[in-house]
Amino acid sequence: MSQTTHANAGHRSNGPQELLAGPVIPSIIKLALPTVVVLLVQTFVGVAETYFVSFLGTAALAGVTLVFPVLMLMQMMSNGGIGGGTAAAVARALGGGRQEDADALVWHALVVACGFGILFMVTALIFASSLYEAMGGADDALRAALTYSNVVFAGSVLIWITALLSSALRGAGNPKTPALVIVSGTFILLPLSPLLIFGWGPIPALGVAGGGVAILVYYLFATVALILRLRSGRDAIRLKVVKLEGRLFREILGVGILSAIGTIQVNLTVVFVTAAVGKFGVDALAGYGIASRLDYLQIPVLFGIGTAIVTLVGLNIGAGQVARARRIAWSGAALAFALSSIVGVYAAVWPSTWMELFSNSPDVVAEGSHYLRTVAPFYPLVAFGLALYFASQGARRVLIPVLAGTVRMIIAAFIGFAAVQIGTVDSSTLYAIVALSSIVYGVISGASVYLTKWHSDERRTRPRTLQAPT
């Protein structure tokens, strides 16, 4: 490393150093807490938007339900998929003392974000109508879905940039800045969404489109704020224009593409299950849509823990501390299991308290409650598997955890959908199949990490400033 690089690094945060030693669980919580808080805020905003849309009627609610799995696909792919690859690459570079690579990875991540954002925007505009119709959308529900979808996916590039730059900062041991940006943005989004949905004074009522416009404004704010922060040089990494290199794209995409496939599988599962539920009518679709939002209530906690695990495992793998990296993986998985059990017990025992927040229709409440009583008890196994999936990102060993997701998809999506399409099964059987897929996923994920050997992939000499304290 050049003297100039050393000098510049001296003015930056040295947060990664302290993460190479010390108690594991406190380190996970320290990194996870800002992300958990911000994602809980985002989840609350999403729930609030569902609440606002519910005043527009069942058709509008069903339409947004159709879009939700596709939007979650993009958000999970950008944050947990390619974003996980970005965070892991940055963490391994810093753990191995490769400061110049760590900085260059930020620019490469920005380029990747623009590419994937354009791809999602074009794909959504071309295929959205056929997809939502295949998922059971028709008439007013389909029109609402297309209106909301066209607005939201027009801003795909902004969503991707926000995700990957946030991931780069988390990989550098700084989850606080992305959290601050996102929380600040909610103060714009939360009042803006109902204002644009219902209108006020000279502002016209845009209906479901208003919710989409509010999301775009939020991501524009987040994109600008993150770029300015990463240009400032106040963190362990800095955004600057560099020559593009294939090896750095491979650092991100080598883990990111497999991880993105994993997120695609998760969301394909949701899409197929949603399509299967759609065969039982609009009340069943609305009930499932409300209930499945509680599935995603786990994501703030799981993603917060997961991003902390990626950073810690990546740093320690880069620094050659493989045993500590594995200890981090199992500790994080146990923590995720315990916390997810809280949501699972609540949802299984008192499902109607959640459902009645959004609907007073007895049929809608009954359908959603039945889903939660069947599936929610197995939330902890999904949480356990997802935590180990994130750990595998940091260790560059994601193949088998992704295959565990493939098995889950085959059971829940393909077998479940086929059972509804060609059989005479009711929603009870469908939900039981979904529950079975959760059990299998947790077991395979645990076995894969237990049986797979991890190795340090860094061979360069590390500067003393990034070595673990003795």
Confidence of residue 466 (pLDDT cuts 50, 70, 90): very low
Name the nearest CA neighbour of 56 among 212, 198, 214: 198
Report the domain count for the chain: 1
Confidence of residue 422 (pLDDT cuts 50, 70, 90): confident
Whether 6 maps to a domain, the answer reads: no
pTM above 0.95, yes or no: no
What pLDDT is attached to residue 440?
Answer: 93
| % of the chain beyond a pLDDT of 90 | 14
**Among the listed ranges 25-39, 93-107, 254-268, which one has the minimum average pLDDT value?**
254-268
As a whole number, the mean pLDDT across the chain is: 81
**Is the predicted pLDDT of residue 297 greater than 50, yes or no?**
yes
**Is the predicted pLDDT of residue 228 greater than 60, yes or no?**
yes
Whether 450 maps to a domain, the answer reads: yes
What pLDDT is attached to residue 12?
Answer: 53
Residues near 247 by Cβ (< 8 Å), separated by ≥ 6? none
70 vs 443: CA distance, rounded Å: 27
H or E stretch at 326: helix 322-349
Answer for the pair 312, 173: CB distance below 8 angstroms, yes or no: no
Confidence of residue 215 (pLDDT cuts 50, 70, 90): confident
Whether 11 maps to a domain, the answer reads: no
Residues near 206 by Cβ (< 8 Å), separated by ≥ 6? 196, 197, 199, 213
Structural domain boundaries, residue 321 = 20-455
What pLDDT is attached to residue 388?
Answer: 92
What pLDDT is attached to residue 227?
Answer: 93
Whether 12 maps to a domain, the answer reads: no
Helices (H), 232-245: none
**Is the predicted pLDDT of residue 9 greater than 70, yes or no?**
no
What mean pLDDT do residues 456-460 have? 51
**Is the predicted pLDDT of residue 465 greater than 60, yes or no?**
no
**Is the predicted pLDDT of residue 226 greater than 90, yes or no?**
yes
207 vs 148: CA distance, rounded Å: 9
**Among the listed ranges 68-77, 111-120, 404-413, which one has the minimum average pLDDT value?**
68-77
Tokens of 456: 């340090």
**Among the listed ranges 46-50, 105-109, 245-249, which one has the minimum average pLDDT value?**
46-50
Whether 1 maps to a domain, the answer reads: no
Tokens of 440: 């299998």
List pLDDT tens digits, range 44-95. Answer: 777 777 777 777 777 777 777 788 778 877 887 887 778 888 888 888 888 8
Whether 307 maps to a domain, the answer reads: yes
What pLDDT is attached to residue 7?
Answer: 39
Residues near 162 by Cβ (< 8 Å), separated by ≥ 6? 219, 222, 223, 226
256 vs 253: CA distance, rounded Å: 4
Residues near 18 by Cβ (< 8 Å), separated by ≥ 6? 469
Whether 233 maps to a domain, the answer reads: yes
Whether 34 maps to a domain, the answer reads: yes
Confidence of residue 354 (pLDDT cuts 50, 70, 90): confident
What pLDDT is attached to residue 18?
Answer: 66
